[in-house]
Amino acid sequence: MKASTEKNSSTLTAGPRRWTVSTLAILLVMTNFASTQAQPSEQQKGKVLFAVTSHDKKGDTGEPTGFYLSEVAHPWDVLVNAGYEIDFVSPKGGKAPVDGFDLADPINKKFWEDKVYREKIEHTKKPSEVAPTEYVAIHFAGGHGTMWDFPDNVALAKIAATIYENNGIVSAVCHGPAGLVNIKLSNGKYLVHGKRINAFTNEEEVAVKLDKVVPFLLESKLIERGATFEKSAPFHPHVVADQRVVTGQNPQSATAVGNAVLEELKHITAVGKLTRYSVKPESRETFRKAMTDYVTQARDEKGNIQAEAFSEQDKDSVFWLIERWKDRSELQRFGDSVPAKAVDALKPDALDAKEETYIVKDWSRSRRSSGAGHHEQKTNRSP
């Protein structure tokens, strides 16, 4: 369906919140949302793939390395508590080496002692065993080992590109963005090109005295790939979310990365609905009242993000109802409410044609960043 060219509209609902017709045109453009990505069921929110390193030595130093425990455990804790299932993949598959093994951290301890996830991290999938369409996001955990085995792993890059181009989220923390440097999209551009990106900085690499050991400096490589690099002072948390790519600077940023990914995922599960009603002139006022009651009640529901209605100025018997809910189950649940049933009861006699309904993807995803966490920009409802 193409965007509406209607130039005039009038508000239907009382109160300070209204939609302009330009907003409607934008929303109608968004109705085309065919995607090959697997959609979460109402019972299960979906699956997130965590990528961890298989490399266990810091160059020629002989010093051990691996995935940094907190950079897995902290985002894992956020996402699992929100209802997501986590799978693990590594370049070689099997048991992944671990670094930063600090069980004094209660979240690290919680992860390490979870029997299900301990089994998963010690039996990671090979990239060839991963079906990208099963996942709504991929997270590249850090640890110095990633600098050696993430950048040139074509299979991992392809998995991440597929998830991203299926409207999924790509995230990485600390040295995890080493997995992003060679990801190319179907348009031939690097994933990070033109996006605000964050990672372990050159200053931090110098501070840990590994700037001469790693094969390249991550900050410099990301800039080379076209990223707009943002950072805070060394070892201070910093998280950037830009166009469904979430990146964090260091281990101190791991929890905030998890929270930022969760916010991005909310925009995947959120659902919008546009409904057009063509009403008989003699039923116009009765239908208007029922619609007003519907919107008023919907706005009071915890699962509702937006509810608006208006009539077209040139066709005042044509009503539009615009809704946005946290997920499809909330929308369906409200369908059993008294106001919803009242509208349904009027339809057979009040409408002169069957209503037109369009289910749309969430339209409010925006660019966000924070030096100490994450900020969600809420939908603007203009007075």
What tokens appear for 281 in the block?
């002139």
Q: What is the pLDDT, as a whole number, of residue 45? A: 72
Element (H, E) at 271: strand 271-278
Q: What is the pLDDT, as a whole number, of residue 272? A: 87
Q: What is the pLDDT, as a whole number, of residue 18? A: 38
Q: What is the pLDDT, as a whole number, of residue 2? A: 33
Query: What SS3 class is residue 238?
Result: coil
Q: What's the predicted TM-score (pTM) here?
A: 0.70
- The residues, any chain, with a CB within 8 Å of residue 212's CB and separated by 6 or more, are none
DSSP annotation of 297 reads: H
What tokens appear for 219 in the block?
């900050």
What tokens appear for 333 in the block?
């649940």
How wide is the angle at C-alpha 220 spanned by C-alphas 217 and 223, nearest 5°?
150
- The phi-psi region of residue 83 (left if phi > 0; otherwise alpha if psi is between -120 and 50; otherwise beta) is left
Q: What is the pLDDT, as a whole number, of residue 165? A: 93
Q: What is the pLDDT, as a whole number, of residue 380? A: 28
**Domains of the chain from N-terminus onward:** 9-32+271-361 (3.30.70.100), 47-267 (3.40.50.880)
Catalytic residues: 174-175, 205
Q: What is the pLDDT, as a whole number, of residue 271? A: 84
Q: Splitting the chain (383 residues) into consecutive groups of 10 residues, what average pLDDT does each group show?
A: 33 39 38 33 72 97 96 98 96 97 98 98 98 95 98 98 94 98 97 98 98 98 98 97 97 98 86 93 95 95 92 89 87 92 95 89 47 35 27
How wide is the angle at C-alpha 41 spanned by C-alphas 37 and 43, nearest 5°?
150
For the chain, the first-to-last Cα distance in angstroms comes to: 29
Cα separation, 61 vs 23, in Å, equals 58
DSSP annotation of 57 reads: B
